[in-house]
Amino acid sequence: MTSDNTLPSAHDVVAFWRNAGPERWFAKSDAFDADCIATLAHAHQAAASGRLDHWADTGEGALALLVLLDQFPRNAWRQNPHMLATDGLALAVARRAVEAGFDRQAEASLQRFFYLPFMHSEVLAEQERSVELNATQDANTQHFAVLHRDIVARFGRFPHRNRMLGRTSTPEEQQFLDDGGFAG
């Protein structure tokens, strides 16, 4: 077990993510995934266990928690149910941070990370909130917010998660996937 004083600070987490930049944030890369794991794994565990909840009291801390709880798992555990395990925690942090206005205090390129937990939810109301929040973002980000919302509105969930989560796809979901529907 790692002690809190050997963990990166919230500032360090945000700096790591900022320095990685948009070209690495959403691209599949074994090298970047390994770098994320080496840099953030212990902090993710601390955040998932609630030891870093106090970070949510500041904009930078909330952003760091969102990286650790929402984005890091998607790099560390691709196509493993664990990648979704802290989504609920991330959504709670995002709700609180948006309510506090921390998203509007963040630099433009990092604001989207306050909104991604809404986009990752399989709850239609959260998807509607995602579309609303992402309206302030670039056209590509807004496109993905609408796409995610439309999938959840149509199916009530993300069909591309079914196999990973051991869910049985409906015939309509399977046809959507077979036709090249969104894969995450």
- Which residues in the chain land under pLDDT 70? 1-5
| pLDDT for residue 119 | 97
| pLDDT for residue 34 | 94
3 state DSSP class of 147: helix
| pLDDT for residue 4 | 55
H/E element, 140: helix 139-155
| Region at 27 (left for phi over 0; alpha for psi -120 to 50; beta for the rest) | beta
| pLDDT for residue 163 | 93
Separation in Å, CA 142 to CA 89, 106, 134, 148, 158: 23, 18, 5, 10, 18
| pLDDT for residue 129 | 98
| pLDDT for residue 79 | 85
| pLDDT for residue 5 | 60
